[in-house]
Amino acid sequence: MSSTLDRDRPLVEPPPEPPAARRGTARLLHPAPYARAFADVLGILHRNRALTSEIVRREIRGQHAGQLLGRWWGLLQPLFLMALYAFIFCVVFRVRIGGTLELPRNYTIYILAGMVPWFAFIQSMARAATAITDNSVLVKQTIFQLEVLPVARAITGCVPMIVGLAFIGIVTLIQYRSLPATFLLVPLLALLQVIAMAGAAFALSAIGAVARDVREVVQIFSVIGVFILPIVYLPSSVPKIFQPLLYANPFSYVIWCYQDAIYYGRFEHPWAWPVFAIGSLLAFSLGYRLFRRVKPFCGNVL
């Protein structure tokens, strides 16, 4: 009897199956889904590069179509907002920082270093929320690649970012006669931000096709974000009881990286850089996978 049982028993015991949580973490960290997401989107954009370029131009022209100054508003609006915040906090409230080893530059550059990426994010997210509903005619065409629409809305968010970064560079050169060496890392940060904005655009356009009030939620969050992110204040000035909320906000790491490259001129927040890079890839992959699931139903909800 025992010999029969021993004969039926496998010679090598199979390894115990890992817990479900560990399997989920392994799938989340596996690079294959992220590589496939990038390959899918890049392939679609390459095959439809002429269409993508035309839609981006149409989006930029259409933002201020029919207005007296037209596309000049794309330059004037971010400049006005940056000048307004700088005036309020530097002139009205008379906040003075800078001139020390810990805080090398003035408060104006500190504010602008955080506001420029934030304005780009909120503009792309707000417009991405209506990317599907604003183009219902194109969405109902079976041969049209819907992936182009969110990406085009994310790319249009680069306009205020380019304007803002150029403005910061000019202000820094005027006041300090040179740019920090870390300013060379700004293009890398901009690339990571575009990847993150594309992921957010995919997710918000998919959700916005069903919930039409997503745009209003994004606009409210854009106003709140200026005050819950380390843009107009130093993190050290936040009471310790609220500091975990600051570190739990994924947008904080974006702001810290730009402040390192533009304001500090050194890696003041070194842990923020890998978090920003990994977070951008996660946002892109997860946003695209959500969009791909909702895509077949977009024509039915319009």
What would the pLDDT profile of 136-167 be if each residue is shown by its tens digit? 777 777 677 888 889 998 988 888 888 889 98
pLDDT of residue 9 exceeding 80: no
pLDDT digits (tens, 9 = 90+) for 253-302: 999 999 999 999 999 999 999 999 999 999 999 999 899 888 887 766 66
pLDDT of residue 48 exceeding 80: yes
User: Distances in Å between the alpha carbon of 16 and those of 7, 13, 35, 58, 137?
Assistant: 21, 9, 30, 57, 54
pLDDT of residue 32 exceeding 80: no
pLDDT of residue 125 exceeding 70: yes
Mean pLDDT of 63-82: 68
Mean pLDDT of 35-58: 83
The confidence band for 83, taking pLDDT boundaries of 50, 70 and 90, is confident
pLDDT for the residue 5? 47
The confidence band for 212, taking pLDDT boundaries of 50, 70 and 90, is confident
What percent of the chain has pLDDT above 90? 26
pLDDT for the residue 65? 57
pTM over 0.85: no
pLDDT of residue 99 exceeding 90: no
Residue 219 Cα to chain centre, angstroms: 15
pLDDT for the residue 102? 74
pLDDT for the residue 302? 61
Tokens of 297: 């139903």
- Tell me the residue type at 166: A
Among 10-14, 58-62, 157-161, which stretch is predicted with the lowest mean pLDDT?
10-14
What percent of the chain has pLDDT above 70? 80
Mean pLDDT of 87-100: 67
pLDDT of residue 202 exceeding 90: yes
